[in-house]
Amino acid sequence: MSRSLGSTIRCESHPDALLIEDHRAGDMICSECGLVVGDRCVDVGSEWRTFANDKESKDMSRVGAAEDPTMEGQDLSTTIGRATGSAGFGDNGLPIYRNRHTESAAEKAKRKANREIKEMAERLSADQSIINAAQHIFHTVHKDKLIKGRSNNAVIAACMFIACRQQSVPRTFKEISAVAHTNTTIKDIGRCYKIIRKALVSSQTPSSGISTSSSSDLIERFCSKLNLPKEIKKLALYIVGKVNDCPDLTGKNPNSLAASAIFLACEQIGSLRSAEDIGRICGAAENTIKQTIKLMMPNLAILLPPDVTPSLLISSRINK
Amino acid sequence: MALRDLNNNEIENFPHLKFSIHNVVCSFGTSCYLNLRKIALNGLNVENKGDRLFMKLRKPTITATIFSSGKITCAGGKSDDEARIGARRVARQLQKLGFKVKFLDYQVVNVMSTSSVPFVINLSKLAKQYPGDCEFNPELSPFVFIKINSLNTSVNVYSTGKLTIMSSNIDSISKSLDYIYTFLYQSKS
């Protein structure tokens, strides 16, 4: 059957009919009369044949993984694999064919940063979406050379911080600094964070959502770490929500506010926790908690919900 | 200029905020290279830090940073007059040491001053409402950092009402105070 180039295949008796593709035979069949109109159609799907030495993977596709945007074309190149069998090794026992080390400093730094971010995420028990976000932020920042003079460790930590915030699971600076490379102070991370944030806000849409941290996000996490019941968590969240109405407590570190709210809630409901325990989990010192509670005491009427009477245990516990 | 609060009522007694200047930093150039070693050995009250010298004057209390290219930065003046006098005294000292010094491109680089507002401010409210360049990181620092680009000024606002204003010239200080007063008043707690 001869066809002119560029003519679409269609059934002669039904030119407007849809053609159904039969994958198994490679045919195009007219849906009206069943006439086989085109044959030997090339299947553009993935290869489905299996070979004997193929690994037992569920996905038999040979296309490979999705392209990683942070690698910028690096993952399209191939490398020489490790030598197996005796033919791969020379007389001296070393492999005959080795990869040439052609990697620029930028790519090395990026590779190292990706590894660091993964390790940090493991320590923070953060999931894959946060890792991807942090790596993407580092890639953006590194590409535009925004943080030229800063130490890479602080930049990586700041990327992690921003990624956690973006995914609505904020980690405090103290937690990030504890998990980051040694000698990365909160001050360094804070400085890098300010620079990166400015750059991200200008380059991306406002929907990247980097808002100020609030204590309420932290309370969920700290309460579950301390194994506190739901009522305490609910009360602590209420207290922290009301903190904005107290003029004495503006500008306090959200860590210490969260810790004192939890302490207050514990006292109210009666489950005794020492300020030390709470402070250790929240990243606030015992004295800080006591100071903040002293500031909260005169405002208990505002802070506690209207149906709760303040417990008298609190003052004795603080002054101990 | 009528100030209005959130209910659109005019605020009476709009106070003109007083401010006190704590530090004026200026820089000027001498149009000749300076031999730092000669100055360090022969000059009065000079401290050596490798690639630069610190020359301290007593009256007015000024610390001058001297570079071998001839650029000099003077910090510590309590007013722009003091800064200028201090700068000229430094140049005079260098002249006495034998350098052919000129007083070129005198410029006030930075003015740091403080002021205060007579009420307590709710910082998170201010950070949300302020329409402009404004940063509040309570984890890092207990103040709101407001940047006013048109006047080249930045202000640190503390919850007690104290303000720290950093600007590039003295005239813009009172202008920036007038500008932010409305927003501070609206975030009064």
The per-residue pLDDT for A6 is 45
pTM tops 0.95: no
Q: Taking a C-beta distance cutoff of 8 angstroms, is the pair A134, A171 a contact?
A: no
Q: Nearest CA to B141 among B164, B113, B118?
A: B164
Q: Are residues B61 and B88 in the same domain?
A: yes
Boundary of a domain, candidates A169, A188, A208: A208
Contact A172 B189 (CB under 8 A): no
Q: Taking a C-beta distance cutoff of 8 angstroms, is the pair A35, A13 a contact?
A: yes
Q: Are residues B9 and B55 in the same domain?
A: no
Supply the range of the domain harboring residue B85.
Answer: 24-109
Nearest to B159 among A213, A251, A254 (CB): A251
- Is the pLDDT assigned to residue B115 strictly greater than 90? yes
- Is the pLDDT assigned to residue B78 strictly greater than 90? yes
Q: Taking a C-beta distance cutoff of 8 angstroms, is the pair A262, A278 a contact?
A: yes
Encode burial over B73-89: b for 16+ CB neighbours within 10 A, e otherwise: bbbbbeeeebbbbbbeb
Taking CA–CA distances from B140, the nearest residue in chain A reads: A190
Boundary of a domain, candidates B71, B90, B109: B109
The per-residue pLDDT for A83 is 80
Written as tens digits, the pLDDT of chain A (320 aa) is: 444 444 577 788 888 888 888 877 788 888 888 888 877 767 666 666 666 665 656 666 666 666 776 666 666 777 787 888 888 888 888 888 887 777 777 788 888 888 999 999 999 888 899 999 999 888 888 877 777 778 888 999 999 999 998 888 888 888 899 888 888 889 999 999 988 888 887 766 544 445 666 777 788 888 888 888 888 888 888 888 888 788 888 878 888 889 999 988 888 887 778 888 888 888 888 899 989 988 888 888 878 887 777 766 666 666 65
Read off the pLDDT of residues B119-169 as tens digits, 9 standing for 90 and up: 999 998 898 888 888 888 888 888 999 999 999 999 999 999 999 999 998
Task: Dump the DSSP string for A165-202.
Answer: HHTT----HHHHHHHSSTT--HHHHHHHHHHHHHHHHH
Q: Measure CA B85 to chain center.
A: 17
Taking contacts as CB-CB distances below 8 angstroms, the residues of chain B near A253 are 138-139
Q: Are residues A162 and A223 in the same domain?
A: no
Give dist(CA B128, CA B139) in Å, integer: 17
Nearest to A190 among B137, B158, B159 (CB): B137
Q: Are residues A127 and A153 in the same domain?
A: yes
> In the numeric block, which tokens belong to residue B31?
């149009």
- CATH code, domain carrying A303: 1.10.472.10
Taking contacts as CB-CB distances below 8 angstroms, the residues of chain A near B189 are 245, 247, 250
Rounded to a whole number, what is the distance in Å from the CA of A319 to chain B's nearest CA?
Answer: 26
- CATH code, domain carrying B69: 3.30.310.10
User: Does B31 contact chain A (CB < 8 Å)?
Assistant: no
Boundary of a domain, candidates B109, B133, B159: B109
Nearest to A252 among B125, B137, B138 (CB): B138
User: Does B156 contact chain A (CB < 8 Å)?
Assistant: no
Taking contacts as CB-CB distances below 8 angstroms, the residues of chain A near B143 are 251
DSSP SS3 for B119: coil
Contact A253 B120 (CB under 8 A): no
Q: Are residues A175 and A126 in the same domain?
A: yes
Contact A251 B143 (CB under 8 A): yes
Nearest to B138 among A186, A247, A253 (CB): A253
User: Does B129 contact chain A (CB < 8 Å)?
Assistant: no
Q: Nearest CA to A215 among A184, A246, A179, A188?
A: A246
Q: Measure CA A164 to chain center.
A: 6
Domain count within chain A: 3
Contact A186 B140 (CB under 8 A): yes
The per-residue pLDDT for A45 is 65
Q: In what order do the strands lie in the sheet with A27-30?
A: A19-22, A27-30, A36-38
Regarding an ipTM greater than 0.85, the answer is no
Q: Are residues B131 and B90 in the same domain?
A: no
The per-residue pLDDT for A7 is 56
Taking contacts as CB-CB distances below 8 angstroms, the residues of chain B near A251 are 123, 138, 142-143, 158-159
What are the CB-based long-range contacts (under 8 Å, 24+) for A109-112?
Answer: A109/A142, A109/A152, A110/A70, A110/A71, A110/A138, A110/A139, A110/A142, A112/A152
Supply the range of the domain harboring residue A121.
Answer: 105-208
Let me know if B95 is exposed, middle or buried by CB neighbors in 10 A (0-12, 13-18, 19+).
Answer: middle
Taking contacts as CB-CB distances below 8 angstroms, the residues of chain A near B124 are 212, 244, 250
Give dist(CA B35, CA B174) in Å, integer: 41
Taking contacts as CB-CB distances below 8 angstroms, the residues of chain B near A172 are 139
